[in-house]
Amino acid sequence: MKNLIKKTQNTAFQNNLWQRGSRIVLGVSGGPDSVCLLDIFANLAPKYDLKLIIAHVNYGLRGGDSERDEKFVRKLSGKHGILIAVLNAKTKKISENVLRDIRYDFFERVRNENSFDMIAVAHNLEDQVETFLMRIIRGAGLNGLSAMRYKSGKLIRPFLRTTRAEILEYLKKNKLAYRTDKTNESNLFFRNKVRNKLIPFLEKNFNPKIRKTIFAATVSIADDCSLLRDLAKKAARQNKTISVKSFLKLHPALQRRLLLQKIAEKKKELRDVKSSHIEEIIKTIKSTKGKAPIVLFKGLKVAKKGDRVTIDFGKVK
């Protein structure tokens, strides 16, 4: 299916995902999405002089199936003549967050050790929709609702506007085998519940095109989020420390963004910073109580003294 290759090229061009000669780590699980990603990059590599390496994680959670997945991906590596790096994690923890952290830490290690430029993963349109719904259920703010981006630091997602149906059609037409993770059919993980229960319910009872509708919303939200992020960065540069007087003059949306920007300067990972944390800080800043208020969360201390607000690591002394 040449159209999907062309679509991937267009997505890469429109979002500046890679350049000629780029060195890219491919996250390959052996499932349909990543097998499709690998095949398309193998087709594009000669045209763009791309250097590729496969990264595969064997969590050991599915017994023989996990071993067969690894064997399958190693076979793909040989078929395409692409080097492969495998992590045998053998973890007993099955939290989505734990597995994701193991996976991306390994991908980044492979990238660093091989002096590669970026990491490509096979997140598609359905993944984006699922992520959006998961985050809205968990109470995410604007940043969370913009969901995944085509490019986040060293991570690229060339399939983000590609549907799962397009991927399966590509695999069928090119007679490409792939592995099926039977746990995707169970509702053990939160994402599976959203995929198997919530989205079909919304399609049947509210909007048969809910996936495309939500995806379009995430694109719009991401654009708005990007603008606010840029404005917040500008405000952060102009305000090395947070002045209560200046802060309260900002639009509420910029107040939240400025706080996230300042927190990011101390805490590189914002995944566990919730909107409730930000609202509590704003409440503290607005407080007119005589005693200097303090907010503690996720290892950080936010304190107000006079006209100044400080954000730093530490505990109340």
Tokens of 183: 């746990």
Mean pLDDT of 18-36: 97
Q: How far is 34 from 42, CA to CA, in rounded Å?
A: 12
248 and 126 assigned to the same domain: no
Distance (Å) of CA 74 to CA 53, 83, 167, 191, 268: 12, 9, 21, 28, 34
248 and 296 assigned to the same domain: yes
Show Cβ contacts of residue 198 under 8 Å, excluding neighbours closer than 6 positions: 133
Tokens 């039977």 label which residue?
Answer: 182
Its sign, for the CA torsion 12, 15, 21, 25, is negative
The model carries a pTM of 0.83
40 and 179 assigned to the same domain: yes
97 and 174 assigned to the same domain: yes
- Give yes or no for residue 317 having a pLDDT over 60: no
Tokens 């097998």 label which residue?
Answer: 35
154 and 199 assigned to the same domain: yes
197 and 245 assigned to the same domain: no
Distance (Å) of CA 195 to CA 187, 188, 283: 9, 12, 37
Is residue 15, in this structure, part of any structural domain at all? Answer: yes
109 and 41 assigned to the same domain: yes
Mean pLDDT of 263-281: 79
Is residue 157, in this structure, part of any structural domain at all? Answer: yes
Is residue 83, in this structure, part of any structural domain at all? Answer: yes
Is residue 177, in this structure, part of any structural domain at all? Answer: yes
Is residue 52, in this structure, part of any structural domain at all? Answer: yes
Domain boundary among 205, 233, 249: 205
The rounded radius of gyration (Å) of the Cα atoms in the chain is 22
Q: List the CATH number of the domain containing 290.
A: 3.30.465.60
173 and 268 assigned to the same domain: no
Helix (H) or strand (E) holding 301: strand 300-305
147 and 19 assigned to the same domain: yes
Higher confidence at residue 292 or residue 30?
A: 30
Most confident of 6-20, 125-139, 226-240: 6-20
Overall domain count for the chain: 2
296 and 164 assigned to the same domain: no
Q: List the CATH number of the domain containing 173.
A: 3.40.50.620
Instruction: Give the residue numbers spanning the domain of 252.
Output: 241-313
282 and 177 assigned to the same domain: no
Domain boundary among 180, 205, 230: 205
pLDDT (tens digit, 9 = 90+) per residue, 90-133? 776 667 778 899 999 999 999 999 999 999 999 999 999 999 99
Mean pLDDT (the chain, rounded):
89
257 and 191 assigned to the same domain: no
Higher confidence at residue 228 or residue 74?
A: 74
Tokens 């991908």 label which residue?
Answer: 107
Confidence of residue 316 (pLDDT cuts 50, 70, 90): very low
Cβ atoms < 10 Å from Cβ of 76: 22
